[in-house]
Amino acid sequence: MSGGHAFAADTPKKGEAITLESATAVGEQDQEQSYKVDEVSSPKYTAPLRDTPQTITVVPRQVIEDQNLLSLRDILSTVPGITFGAGEGGGGYGDSINLRGFSASNDIAIDGIRDSAQYTRSDSFNLEQVEVVNGASSVYSGSGSVGGTVNLVSKAPKLQDFNRISAGVGTDAYKRTTADINHRLNDTTAFRLNLMAHGNDAPGRDWENNERWGIAPSIAFGLGTSTRLTLSYFHQHDNNIPQFGVPFFEGSKVDGTDVNAYYGYHNMDEQKIDSDSVTSKFEHDFNDAFTVSNLTRYSETDQKSIANPPQGTFCLPSGTTFAGVACALPGSYVPSGPRGTTRDSTNTMLYNQTDLTSRFNTGFIEHTLVTGMSFSKERYDLDSGNSQRSATGATVPYPPMDLSDPDSYYSGPQNYFRTGHNDSKVRNRAFYAFDTLKFNDQWEFNGGVRYERNEGDFHNKAYAYNTTTGALTTTTVTDGDNSEDLVSYRAGIVYKPVESGSIYIAYGNSKTPSQSTVNGSCTTATCNVDPEKAVSYELGTKWDLLDESLSLTAAVFRNDRSNYRVASGDPLVPDQQLDGEARVDGLALGVAGRITDQWSVFANYTYLKSKVLQSVSDFTEETTGIDAQKGNHLPFVPRNSFNVWTTYDLPLGFQLGYGVTMQSSQNVSSDDASKDIKVAGYAIHRAMLNYKVTKDLQLQLNVNNLFDKEYFSRVRGGSHTTNGWATPGDARNATLTANYSF
């Protein structure tokens, strides 16, 4: 996962003395973190988590390491209310996230800075924690953020000395080496270096594999003083065979297919990623009541992919097609569709943010006020085409494949022909203010407002080839732009019956302009349409118990997309209309921390009830009286999802961990014709055994999918008449890791 310096620098709180401990003692302390987190990293949150009127689930580094969670998908699978799409389409192959019923693929941030490229965030080696902010929250993250935001917090230098080297081996050709080295250079300066090299085959799959390496150095000056500067660099290189999985039909794999088999071409399919970022963060405390900080980042993500999704004409083992028509070769399929699809994209961003934090009183009211501004410029360049063409650009015939044992080696012509180029930009400037007003020991008001100017434009070209001569022609050129002034806000009232507990009610909104992301362009039907809107309501409570070592949270909420774009239905009105409405009601429960000195737990449960309130324009509904999707469930929104992970310290240096991730069935579409197609639910178990060999050496055994459950985690399409595809979850796999600290 790409990233620079975390917002949460390891500096003493204002007024605290600095104590420099021995390297050994501090090193051990650094590695023994709690499952309970008290604060999020961004300065925009002006109160501790317990007093913040919003559900925020923080997955700390210790939880990530204890379960050996490597990718962003692995980590987020432990957060109920999140599901994953197949990650292919307009944005390209990569992480495709649904949060509380709505897409959050473009609502991923690193250290509070939007990371808009759609790619696979495959590794956690430079990650301190993952923060999942639930509910409409444009006020914090900018345009979009309908269901919430996922923020990845990078590791940062600390005024400590510790070294940790990890080496692991496992099933499915698993091999991994990481290093986390932090050195205090003097009383105020520290250097940190994180390194990673990794390789593995996808458990339970014939050909998919992952190879990557990464480096993340950072240095901090002035730690523990009033003026601090942190500089960091990040680079990660991935070389993967992408996982598209198996053909999927009516909620399950196509009859005759094998979940282990590869239905693309393993000798051609690839996903190569290079992610780089350079970050600078400057902080200065004028006094105990006033702090200024500035963060600047330049990032670039390059991704090259060649894909052969499992699409085609199927002849089922029964000798019929999906439509029940007789076919000639039972148990086979002829590949077709977007085979050989090639995408070469570059996402760049330049970002600058300044925050002013002040603490003061107005009469009897105590304020913690943050005001700030940010400026960003994103650019997206995409060349797209096909790499499986004849010398003159003609399509090539594909031989039939066996459904149970497909021939995944491509032996046809390999010539790349470009079919399109996309060049888009998004510029954003924002001004915001957040304040926590403390009236007395029982009552607080927490609120914020954000104004932003979002401007986007794009230039798209489509190309065609004369398949006889190979001559290139430009068939279409499309230009467009969209500019919007957006105001978003959030407000909550917090009641604290005792210091260790809070009860709150909150409201927030989000705005999504037509050109909200640099990866997607508005069209002639959407560029002139006003921003979409969403709102969230939440009533909840948070408590710290057992001498504040255990956190309990509970909330009921409603997320409404109050107006999203739908076709106008009026032949005289080309622009889409903001008449669509959808709703998700839910309940969220969480527990994190220590029950006893030996027993830790991290668990969450989410209940989601979704439905489409309106899916056509007012014109269409009035003229036809038909809204076929009205009342249907939203796709990929399981009613119940649950995760628990717990560890217990045993005698003689042993620690035992056990967890389960459960998810009920989910619909694959809200279309009326396919509204009854569901993907089966599942429960996946995992276990861990850690043994402290010496004071410095630990061995950790992890077993995932303990009972080798067959399930599907990422689904694309699949109606009653056509197939889609789905990625099987990892089969049972085991890893053994040696962690050496010195």
Residue 467: which of 415, 411, 410, 420 has the closest Cα?
A: 415
Region 185-195 average pLDDT: 97
Residue 472, domain extent: 224-741
Strands 82-85 and 712-716, bridge-based pairing: parallel
Query: What pLDDT digit, counting tens, does each position of 439-460 carry?
Result: 999 999 999 999 999 999 999 9
Q: Looking at the predicted structure, is the pLDDT value of residue 517 above 90?
A: no
Q: What are phi and psi of 470, to 5 degrees?
A: 80, 5
Query: What is the sign of the dihedral through the CA atoms of 516, 519, 521 and 526?
Result: negative
Lowest average pLDDT, out of 458-462, 611-615, 717-721, goes to 717-721
Query: What pLDDT digit, counting tens, does each position of 366-382 carry?
Result: 999 999 999 999 999 99
User: Is residue 122 included in any domain, yes or no?
Assistant: no
**CA 206/CA 259 separation, integer angstroms:** 9
User: Is residue 516 included in any domain, yes or no?
Assistant: yes
Q: Which amino acid is at 243?
A: Q
Overall domain count for the chain:
1
Yes or no: say if 398 and 325 are a contact pair by the CB < 8 Å rule: no
Q: Looking at the predicted structure, is the pLDDT value of residue 177 above 90?
A: yes
Query: What pLDDT digit, counting tens, does each position of 460-494 carry?
Result: 999 998 888 878 888 889 999 999 999 999 999 99
Counting every residue written for the chain, the total comes to 742
Secondary structure (DSSP) of 268-293: T-EEEEEEEEEEEEEEEEEETTEEEE
**CA 194/CA 70 separation, integer angstroms:** 15
- The predicted pLDDT at position 88 comes to 61
- The predicted pLDDT at position 675 comes to 87
- The predicted pLDDT at position 87 comes to 61
Query: What pLDDT digit, counting tens, does each position of 391-420 carry?
Result: 988 888 999 999 999 999 999 999 999 999
Query: What pLDDT digit, counting tens, does each position of 670-699 carry?
Result: 888 888 889 999 999 999 999 999 999 999
Region 57-74 average pLDDT: 96
User: Is residue 342 included in any domain, yes or no?
Assistant: yes
Query: What is the sign of the dihedral through the CA atoms of 85, 89, 92 and 93?
Result: positive
- The predicted pLDDT at position 92 comes to 65
User: Is residue 408 included in any domain, yes or no?
Assistant: yes
Query: What pLDDT digit, counting tens, does each position of 205-227 carry?
Result: 999 999 999 999 999 999 999 99
- The predicted pLDDT at position 485 comes to 96
**CA 233/CA 217 separation, integer angstroms:** 6
User: Is residue 162 included in any domain, yes or no?
Assistant: no
Please give the residue that has the higher pLDDT: either 428 or 31.
Answer: 428
CATH no. for residue 412? 2.40.170.20
Q: Looking at the predicted structure, is the pLDDT value of residue 333 above 50?
A: yes
Yes or no: say if 283 and 255 are a contact pair by the CB < 8 Å rule: no
Region 308-330 average pLDDT: 92
Instruction: Quote the mean pLDDT of the chain.
Output: 92
User: Is residue 67 included in any domain, yes or no?
Assistant: no
Residue 83: which of 64, 97, 66 has the closest Cα?
A: 97
Q: Looking at the predicted structure, is the pLDDT value of residue 563 above 70?
A: yes
Q: Looking at the predicted structure, is the pLDDT value of residue 31 above 70?
A: no
For residue 669, the tally of other CB atoms under 10 A from its CB is 21
User: Is residue 527 included in any domain, yes or no?
Assistant: yes
What is the band of 52 on the pLDDT scale with cuts at 50, 70, 90? very high
Query: What pLDDT digit, counting tens, does each position of 620-657 carry?
Result: 999 999 999 999 999 999 999 999 999 999 999 999 99
Q: Looking at the predicted structure, is the pLDDT value of residue 24 above 70?
A: no
User: Is residue 662 included in any domain, yes or no?
Assistant: yes
Lowest average pLDDT, out of 25-39, 278-292, 567-581, 648-662, goes to 25-39
Yes or no: say if 648 and 658 are a contact pair by the CB < 8 Å rule: no
Query: What pLDDT digit, counting tens, does each position of 720-740 carry?
Result: 777 888 999 999 999 999 999
The DSSP secondary-structure symbol of 673 reads G
Region 575-587 average pLDDT: 96
Region 176-203 average pLDDT: 97
- The predicted pLDDT at position 4 comes to 39
Query: What pLDDT digit, counting tens, does each position of 298-307 carry?
Result: 999 999 999 9
